[in-house]
Amino acid sequence: MGIGNQVKTVLLLGSLAGLMLVIGFLVGGRQGLFIALTISILINFITYWFSDKIVLFMYKAKEADKKHHAQLHSIVESVAKKANIPKPKVYIIENETPNAFATGRGPSNAAVACTTGIMKLLNKEELEGVIAHEMAHVKNRDILVATIAATIASIISYVASMARWGAYFGNDDDGANFLAVIILSILAPIIAIIIQLAISRSREYLADETGAKIVKNPKGLASALSKLSNGCAAKPMKSANQATASLFIVNPFSAKAVFSLFSTHPPIDERIRRLNQMKV
């Protein structure tokens, strides 16, 4: 299952990149293609180096005190050893919504953030499952994958918008070409978002599987997801930003499934089913 998810991610990223290049070429020929590539590289560079600090600042995360949050530090250290990666920095977010996320460019500079709500809701075994899931994101370098996907999708939306306005105010007398540009400029961002979200869901399945294997206990994470689903439905995170929703282990607005194509996370029931069927 893990290899399948990895292949799916590569194919989806390739589709996003291909869509971006096609739009760039159609809008501005070789020059448009070069501009699209340049912008992509620049934005990727910025988000790659600073996205972790931005996200932690957005949610007012503070480093967890080692005495006050001794159990959390102990779990993170233990799971990091099992995953064979350095212990990430540990942060606490003052929020009653039960949730957690990982951020950082890679294992050497990662951070794990937990809300006060999740600390109250889960027992030690369940919290270990959640931390293992987040550690799996770090180990699989999912933050980098998500950053690339989000960047390409944003560029596609921007270029498509430029193409639409250019078609409206251009001097092209070819009605068929005008219509084609308008249709493409409307559909391209939608397709890009669908692909981006599909990548996010694929990486969540992979993190569930990898995390369960790290601690050799899929049941703990399955139980945690069930509690988090109900917890987020009862107390959705009012301060959450839609652009960062995919970072959390469950959707911070509500863990209940929405229309699958436009969901940042796979259905909770399906994640739980896969975990309960795992043999480690």
Q: What is the 3-state secondary structure (H, E, C) of 178-206?
A: HHHHHHHHHHHHHHHHHHHHHHHHHHHHH
Name the strands in the sheet holding 62-63, side by side, starting at the edge strand that comes first in the sequence. Answer: 62-63, 89-93, 111-115, 100-103
Both structure tokens of 38? 């340049």
What is the set of active-site residues?
134
Pairing of strands 111-115, 100-103: antiparallel
Report the chain's mean pLDDT, rounded to a whole number: 79
Q: Around 271, how many Cα atoms within 13 Å sit in the side-chain half-sphere?
A: 32
CA distance from start to end of the chain: 13
Alpha-carbon distance values, 216 to 129, 134, 210, 247 (Å): 9, 15, 10, 23
Rounded to two decimals, what is the model's pTM?
Answer: 0.74
- CA torsion 116→117→119→120, rounded to 10°? 120
Alpha-carbon distance values, 180 to 24, 174, 193 (Å): 15, 10, 20
pLDDT tens-place string over residues 178-231: 566 666 667 666 766 677 677 778 889 999 999 999 999 999 999 999 999 999
Q: Decide: 40 and 21 in contact? Cβ < 8 Å.
A: no
DSSP 62: E
pLDDT tens-place string over residues 109-163: 899 999 999 999 999 999 999 999 999 998 888 876 666 666 566 566 666 666 6
CA–CA distance, 193 with 200 (Å, rounded to integer): 11
Helix (H, G, I), strand (E, B) or coil at 87: coil
pLDDT tens-place string over residues 15-35: 666 666 666 666 566 666 567
CA angle 262, 223, 257 (to 5 degrees): 15
Q: Is the pLDDT of residue 1 over 50?
A: no
Q: Which of 70, 55, 193 is nearest to 137 (CA)?
A: 55
pLDDT range class, residue 68, cuts 50, 70, 90: very high
CA 260 to chain centre: 15
Q: Residue 141: its pLDDT value, please?
A: 80
CA–CA distance, 26 with 172 (Å, rounded to integer): 14
Q: Residue 9: its pLDDT value, please?
A: 53
Q: Residue 121: its pLDDT value, please?
A: 97
Q: What domain range includes position 49?
A: 2-277
Tell me which H or E stretch contains 101: strand 100-103
Q: How many independent structural domains does the chain possess?
A: 1
pLDDT tens-place string over residues 219-266: 999 999 999 999 998 998 887 666 677 789 998 876 554 455 567 788
CA–CA distance, 125 with 149 (Å, rounded to integer): 33
CA–CA distance, 29 with 264 (Å, rounded to integer): 33
